[in-house]
Amino acid sequence: MRLRLLALTILATLCGCVETNETQGGGRASDGGAVSGTLETVPGSQVVSITLKSQAGWFCNATFLHADDEPQPAKAPLSCSDRRKGEIQVFLNRHTSQAAGFYRLSDGTTGQVNFGLF
């Protein structure tokens, strides 16, 4: 039985099967268009992933590390589906389960997305 449990643990590790917490968010871009977002955290880890999606059809991704007790906002590079790049500044509070992300893309587009209950 222990051998079977060990084998399953190794298999889960190798396949990348990791439980995550995911929450949805919403906001606006500087052009007035709606932007939705997904914030994903890995329990027991400092890994945070964010995806932004615009009604205009583009999406951007960022992944960064953020400690539970980190008082400063995290800054992370964004890579977008339409080849734009940018940066997102994330104010993340795991104690209140809220986050706000402020982004700027290489063409000057800016915006904000708010997340809650992650």
**Count of CA atoms in the C-beta half-sphere (13 A) of 101:** 34
Q: Name which of 1, 43, 36 is nearest 21 in CA terms.
A: 43
Sole residue written with tokens 């027991």: 44
pTM of the model: 0.77
Give the CATH number of domain 20-116: 2.40.128.120
Tens of pLDDT, residue by residue, the chain (118 residues): 444 433 434 444 444 566 788 889 999 999 899 999 999 988 888 889 999 999 999 999 999 988 766 677 899 999 999 999 999 999 987 778 889 999 999 999 999 999 986 5
pLDDT score of 35: 97
What pLDDT score was predicted for residue 19? 77
CA quadruple 106, 110, 116, 118: dihedral, nearest 10 = 0
